[in-house]
Amino acid sequence: MPDPTATLRLVDESLFVAGYEPLTLRGAECGRCGTTTFPSQDGCPRCGAQEMTDAALPRTGVLWSFTVQGFEPKPPYRGREPFTPYGVGYVDLGPVIVEARLTENDPARLHVGDTMELTLVPAFDDADGPVSTFAFAPAGDPA
Amino acid sequence: MKVAIVGIGLHPFGRTPGVSGRAQGAHAARAALADAGVEWSDVQFAFGGSHSAGDADSLVSDLGLTGAPFINVANGCGTGGSALIAARSAILSGEHDLGLVVGFDKHPPGAFNTDPAALGLGDWYGTTGLMLTTQFFAMKIQRYMHLHGITDDTLAAVAAKAFRNGALNPDAWRREPHSAQTIAASKMISHPLTQYMFCSPGEGAVALVVTRADHAHRYTETPIVIEAAEFRSRRFGSFEVFSPWLSPETAAGPTVEAARAAFDAAGVAPTDIDLAQIQDTESGAEIMHMAETGLCKDGEQEGLIRAGATEIGGMLPINTDGGCLANGEPIGASGLRQVYENVLQLRGDAGPRQVPGRPRAAFTHVYGAPGISACTVLTR
């Protein structure tokens, strides 16, 4: 079986903790007040301290809210052809609630409070093939 | 001292091919000056703004080169409110007695597209399809419905009211009533919100002439007093548009603080308000903003709307001119449209959409990116 990570190309490497397996989102935690941000940033938006350190975010959480993008957005969106509606949600990971693509695009199969797991989805294709971004899948869905 | 609105002017909202946003602004300004019975040369200062139709201060080329200070305001959806607040302060400070406030815009069809970098976000946020205001509104109402028992039927009912009121307003863009069933069955844009539940970027212009309240009777028999005009930005923990992450530590949004500040400054309670214009960029926003402004409690909207309380003849008429849903959203003009409508209603000049019972106190509210709100309380 081919190793899917061998050719994996990410939309922005800085969103992920380098070298972690399985793939993990990279946030930042404030050394003064404990606030966690995603993506990582230099200053704390809560207390203003510049004591942020990288944080590996939990890979599972609870669906906080969701929608389904029903029309093809204008640029800067770069989608795959043909356009397929895609789920978007906020997932509560504990220290931080992260906005993400969802693998599910049927609103009837999404509920606030559902357990969700981190995964990847192809976001768009460039000259070298698909480029992936982070997403959350309902827990227990086949990958 | 207080400040009063003594002249109002408006260019019809919607699409006006061949007429620039600036020209619509000049049209509204001239109409407001005529309504107050003054000449542009009488006006001592102006504040104005437009998001994408040119610099407001360039209107002096059309109105006349009088040397008066004309200051541009750029505050997104808060542009009109900010211009009004600035003009009011200029009069309260004693610096000037008579001024003009103007807002206009002309946007191309379709949803706004925003550059992530302009807001400090990575390119990935746009390329992967998260940079859409429509998603924010959908996710905010989705969670609110879950927490407070608001139904899909109520989302459709809000939009149906907007189009019903728009049909009574000759200056509105959308003047055709639609049933709640038609609205619910229209194309799903961002679940749970359908196409007819969203407003569209559009065109239009509004201008106001303001003066010291003790001078107001020189210009009109029906001055409308600006009892309060307040603006707030977000605090840590509020849920705002274009947020890649939220804090589990939640805070009320800027609407809550701006509305409370406006009611406090006016010495008026939300229960004293006879009608309100509140930001309804989509029907869920009207529902949530009813509670955020303090006009009702969370969850009460379902019963209030079902009972007709927010209709023109109800106990709390909301968005009597059709709101953003029927008028579209020309960013620079939209907040001032709300003030224009409240002035008309308080004067008793709103024609077929006049709120009965001679209203005395009226409220306006706008909300916009990146987490701002401006509110006013007007009385006669």
> Is residue A59 a part of any domain in this protein?
yes
Q: What is the C-alpha separation between B172 and B12, in angstroms, rounded?
A: 6
Q: What is the C-alpha separation between A137 and A87, in angstroms, rounded?
A: 10
Q: What is the C-alpha separation between B184 and B360, in angstroms, rounded?
A: 35
Chain A partners of B124 at a C-beta cutoff of 8 Å? 11-12, 15, 133
Average confidence (pLDDT) over B65-83: 95
Q: What pLDDT is recorded for position B115?
A: 84
> Is residue A1 a part of any domain in this protein?
no
Average confidence (pLDDT) over B80-102: 97
Chain A partners of B131 at a C-beta cutoff of 8 Å? 73, 76-77
3-state secondary structure string, B252-273? CCHHHHHHHHHHHHHCCCHHHC
Residue A25 has pLDDT above 70, yes or no: yes
Confidence (pTM): 0.94
Q: What is the C-alpha separation between B346 and B359, in angstroms, rounded?
A: 6
How would residue A2 be classed by pLDDT, with cut points 50, 70 and 90? very low
* Better pLDDT: B87 or A143: B87
User: Which residue, B361, B342, B80, B87, is CA-closest to B212?
Assistant: B87
For B131-186, write each residue's pLDDT tens digit.
999 999 999 999 999 999 999 999 999 999 999 999 999 999 999 999 999 999 99
CB-CB contact of A124 with A79 (8 Å): yes
Residue A142 has pLDDT above 70, yes or no: no
Between CA B127 and CA B149, with CA B234 as vertex, the angle to 5 degrees is: 80
How would residue A140 be classed by pLDDT, with cut points 50, 70 and 90? confident
For every residue of B37-61, DSSP letters joined together read T--GGG--EEEEE-SSS--GGGGHH
Q: What is the C-alpha separation between B254 and A2, in angstroms, rounded?
A: 51
Q: What pLDDT is recorded for position B32?
A: 98
Could you give the C-alpha distances from A58 to A25, A66, A117, in angstroms and in order? 8, 19, 9
Residues in B 260-299 with any Cβ partner in A closer than 8 A: none
> Is residue A75 a part of any domain in this protein?
yes
Q: Is any Cβ of chain A less than 8 angstroms from the Cβ of B232? A: no
Quickly count: other Cβ atoms within 10 Å of residue B11's Cβ.
26
For every residue of A79-97, DSSP letters joined together read -PSSP--EEEEEEE-SS-E
- Subunit contact B246:A96, Cβ cutoff 8 A: yes
Q: Is any Cβ of chain A less than 8 angstroms from the Cβ of B119? A: no
Interface test with B, best of A37, A46, A52, A65 (most B CBs within 10 A): A65
The percent of residues in chain B predicted with pLDDT above 70, rounded, is 99
For A49-105, write each residue's pLDDT tens digit.
999 999 999 999 999 999 999 999 999 999 998 999 999 999 999 999 999 999 999
Using a 10 angstrom Cβ sphere, with 0-12 exposed, 13-18 middle and 19 or more buried, the burial of residue B50 is buried
- List, in order, residues 6 or more apart from B196 with CB less than 8 Å away: B159, B163, B178, B182, B183, B186
User: Which residue, B173, B137, B72, B114, is CA-closest to B285?
Assistant: B137
Domain range enclosing A80: 13-138
For B276-321, write each residue's pLDDT tens digit.
999 999 999 999 999 999 999 999 999 999 999 999 999 999 999 9
- Subunit contact A66:B126, Cβ cutoff 8 A: no
Buried b (16+ CB within 10 A) or exposed e, A123-137: bbeeeeeebbbbbbb
CB-CB contact of A131 with A10 (8 Å): yes
The percent of residues in chain A predicted with pLDDT above 70, rounded, is 94
What is the interface pTM, i.e. ipTM, of the complex? 0.94
> Is residue A2 a part of any domain in this protein?
no
Quickly count: other Cβ atoms within 10 Å of residue B5's Cβ.
32
Nearest-10 crossing angle of helices B331-347, B79-92: 60
Token digits of residue B44: 């001592």
Q: In what order do the strands lie in the sheet with B45-49?
A: B70-72, B45-49, B98-106, B203-212, B3-14, B224-233, B372-379, B361-368, B275-278
User: Could you tell me whether strands A36-37 and B361-368 are parallel, antiparallel, or unpaired per DSSP bridges?
Assistant: unpaired
CB-CB contact of B29 with B232 (8 Å): no
Q: What pLDDT is recorded for position B208?
A: 98
**In chain B, at which residue ranges do the beta strands (DSSP E only) sit?**
3-14, 45-49, 70-72, 98-106, 188-190, 193-194, 203-212, 224-233, 245-246, 275-278, 361-368, 372-379
Q: Which of A12-16, A78-82, A112-116, B45-49 has the lowest mean pLDDT?
A: A78-82
Average confidence (pLDDT) over B195-202: 95
> Is residue A5 a part of any domain in this protein?
no
Please state the domain count of chain A. 1
How would residue A1 be classed by pLDDT, with cut points 50, 70 and 90? very low
> Is residue A80 a part of any domain in this protein?
yes
Average confidence (pLDDT) over B257-272: 98
> Is residue A46 a part of any domain in this protein?
yes
Q: How far is B139 from chain A (nearest CA, A)?
A: 5
The verdict on whether omega for the bond into residue B12 sits within 30 degrees of 0, i.e. cis, is no
User: Which residue, B321, B324, B213, is CA-closest to B275?
Assistant: B321
> Is residue A89 a part of any domain in this protein?
yes
The percent of residues in chain B predicted with pLDDT above 90, rounded, is 93
Chain B partners of A27 at a C-beta cutoff of 8 Å? 245
Residue with tokens 């926003």: B285
For chains A and B, CB pairs below 8 A equal 122
Chain B partners of A39 at a C-beta cutoff of 8 Å? 122, 244-245
The sign of the CA dihedral B16, B20, B24, B27 is negative
CB-CB contact of B103 with B50 (8 Å): yes
Chain B partners of A28 at a C-beta cutoff of 8 Å? none
Q: Which residues pair with B361 in a beta bridge?
A: B379
Q: Is any Cβ of chain A less than 8 angstroms from the Cβ of B109? A: no
Residue of B nearest to A67 (CA): B191
Chain A partners of B146 at a C-beta cutoff of 8 Å? 65, 112
- Subunit contact A94:B138, Cβ cutoff 8 A: no
Q: Which amino acid is at B235?
A: R
